[in-house]
Structure 1
């Protein structure tokens, strides 16, 4: 997707995707890697506060609203007729070395599947699954990494995405 380095972190609810991703991001930032992240939500998200000016402008019909302060900004874009596709979302990222995508398990991107024995869910491995992060040994066609050893997973990611 436009030459950007991306990797998906997928898995069922409760498999530890966000917990693992937080640790991976922290470790990669310590290695001076500029990280972007994209999280899929299965419900409508509301980032703006009712009654605030930006909310009122958006509700009045503005298709794009940017809320900005000295340290950050957020772009809210209405997509009522055509939901934003993954490529469009990835193209929004600038000046990052890698983009971690949480969710979007059906997308054709390299992904690491999070799996926990306690969930008792089947593995979801497709042609784009490059590894499974699990708390149990598994017999799979892809490498199995210890979900409780984020350093091991970061090393795998670095070898997969940044090998020279």
Structure 2
């Protein structure tokens, strides 16, 4: 069974992370197992100088995994970012739905966030027409060919995701 995934896309500063936090809480309240992938166009570091994991990575480890009774983290060096589909297949087989933040150029289904004060144009229905767009979460009425959700109603956005993907708790 293929893992169900949707990407939340928007221009920087639109509120992707804020909305996703609330959608995740709503989906968890429904008993769903939720995975999240955050795209970072910049360099990030979860290893910090002085920590053993940082020392091991700095020593040259290509893959370093740290595990505790509650969670694990993997630091894996690569030459190019793996395709999103590969990341989902490798790391998210145990969840009911994967939400991604970013990946606007991927072929995954997308929900675009639109905030009137942030931009007058849309990413997926502006100069470029993205056929993978399944909805827009907006704080203003829009005339578009996909459903328009209330950007300020994370429960409505979560319900749309559940209905669109027909996702149910796997346990």
User: For this structure pair, what is the TM-score category when the shorter chain's length is used for normalisation?
Assistant: over 0.9
Give the equivalent residue in structure 1 for 2:10: 11
Give the equivalent residue in structure 2 for 1:57: 56
Q: How far apart are the structure 2 equivalents of 1:30 and 1:163?
A: 14
Q: Does 1:152 align with 2:156?
A: yes
> Which stretch shifts more, 96-105 or 41-50?
41-50
Q: Judge conservation of contact 2:38–2:102 (CA < 8 Å) in 1.
A: yes
Residue segments in structure 1 that go unaligned for 5+ positions in a row: none
Q: Judge conservation of contact 2:97–2:167 (CA < 8 Å) in 1.
A: no
| Count of paired positions | 162
Does the residue aligned with 2:112 lie in a helix, a strand or coil? strand
Does the residue aligned with 1:151 lie in a helix, a strand or coil? helix
Give the equivalent residue in structure 1 for 2:30: 31
Residue segments in structure 2 that go unaligned for 5+ positions in a row: 125-129
Does the residue aligned with 1:38 lie in a helix, a strand or coil? strand
Give 1:151 deviation, angstroms: 1.4
Does the residue aligned with 2:41 lie in a helix, a strand or coil? coil
Give the equivalent residue in structure 1 for 2:147: 143
**In the superposition, relative to structure 1, how do residues 11 and 50 fare at CA in structure 2: closer, same or farther (>3 Å)?**
same
RMSD, aligned α-carbons: 1.5
Give the equivalent residue in structure 2 for 1:67: 66
TM-score by length of 2: 0.90
TM-score by length of 1: 0.93
